[in-house]
Amino acid sequence: MTQATEAARRREPKALRREQLINATIDSLAKRGYAATTLADVADGAGLSRGIVNFHFASKDNLLTETIKFLQDEYTANWQAMLSRAAPDTVSQLLAMVTADLDKKICTPRKIAAWFALLTEAKTRPSYHQLAWERDEKYRTTLASICRTAKQEGGYRFDPQSTADAIYAMQEGLWLRMMLFGRSYRRETALSVVLDILSTIFPKHFAADGTPLKIHEEDHQRR
């Protein structure tokens, strides 16, 4: 590296270097898996020297905790933003939730792989477990409340919490499929599966061909 770029690199603020290392961590998790990810891999991936991670993150454990926190923050911020930007009708809200989960920004092979690599270890790591639980709870309760509204609007018989659980579980299952069989199972495939099942579960909210319908409430009250 030339001295000019070396100087420029050195001037980067701390937060940027941390993010750079977190990204190298995600890369390594996706490429090599949890067990085979070493600090040397991460440092090499970031183009930096061996001791650098312990300087910025104190320990490998902490680096991984910060990585899962990064992924979880990005995930939650993304669906919450998409939800608030969506139209207020039930179908739009529902679609916002499920397309956020499969959003191009979130749902990349490397991020999915890294997420599962960390999540699987969450069982034995309290700090990961806590983060997984938070992600879960927020999304799940929001989805359940949308299902409750939809039930009133469509006069459905299902139990809203149970249906929300089923939809959420299905999405996590599709993530798993994408992680394992990403070559044949992509975002677009998963999205069409989700849309199909939604139009089956909420038939009054979708046309026969699956087109979303906005339901107007003459005799229903919202939220």
Partner DNA sequence: CGCTATTGAATGAACGTTCAACAAATTTGT
Partner DNA sequence: ACAAATTTGTTGAACGTTCATTCAATAGCG
Which residues bind to DNA, rule: CB under 7 A?
A: 3, 6-12, 14, 17, 36-40, 48-56, 58-61
Q: Is 129 in the site for a second copy (CB under 8 A)?
A: yes
Selection from 180, 61, 139 nearest residue 53 by Cα: 61
- Out of a second copy, DNA, none, which partner does residue 171 contact, by CB within 5 to 8 A per kind? a second copy
Q: Which residues are within 8 A (CB) of 41 and not within 5 positions of it... i.e. 6 or more apart?
A: 24, 28, 32
Q: Which does residue 61 bind out of DNA, a second copy, none, counting CB within 5 to 8 angstroms by kind?
A: DNA
Chain residues 15-34 in contact with a second copy, contact rule CB under 8 A: 30-34
Residue partners of 64: CB distance under 8 A and separation at least 6: 25, 118, 128
* Listed ranges 16-24, 42-50, 85-93, 163-171: which one lies at the site for a second copy (CB under 8 A): 163-171
CA 6/CA 57 separation, integer angstroms:
22
Residue 3: contacted member of a second copy, DNA, none (CB under 5 to 8 Å, by partner type): DNA
Cβ proximity of 83 and 97 under 8 Å: yes
Residue 124 CA, chain-centre distance (Å), reads 21
- What whole-number distance in Å separates Cα of residue 46 and Cα of residue 64? 15
Assess 7 for contact with a second copy (CB under 8 A): no
One-letter amino acid of 222: R
Which one of the spans 18-26, 49-57, 82-90, 121-129 is the region binding a second copy (CB under 8 A)? 121-129
Amino acid of residue 44: D
Q: What three-state secondary structure class fits 202?
A: coil
38 binds, among DNA, a second copy, none (CB under 5 to 8 A by kind): DNA
Q: Select the residue interacting with a second copy from 17, 18, 69, 177 (CB under 8 A).
A: 177
- Count the Cβ atoms, other than its own, within 10 Å of residue 94: 23
In one-letter notation, the amino acid at residue 17 is R
Q: Does 150 bind a second copy (CB under 8 A)?
A: no
Binding residues for a second copy, rule: CB under 8 A, are: 30-36, 113, 116-117, 119-125, 129, 132-133, 136, 156-159, 162-163, 165-174, 176-177, 179-181, 192-194, 196-197, 199-201, 208
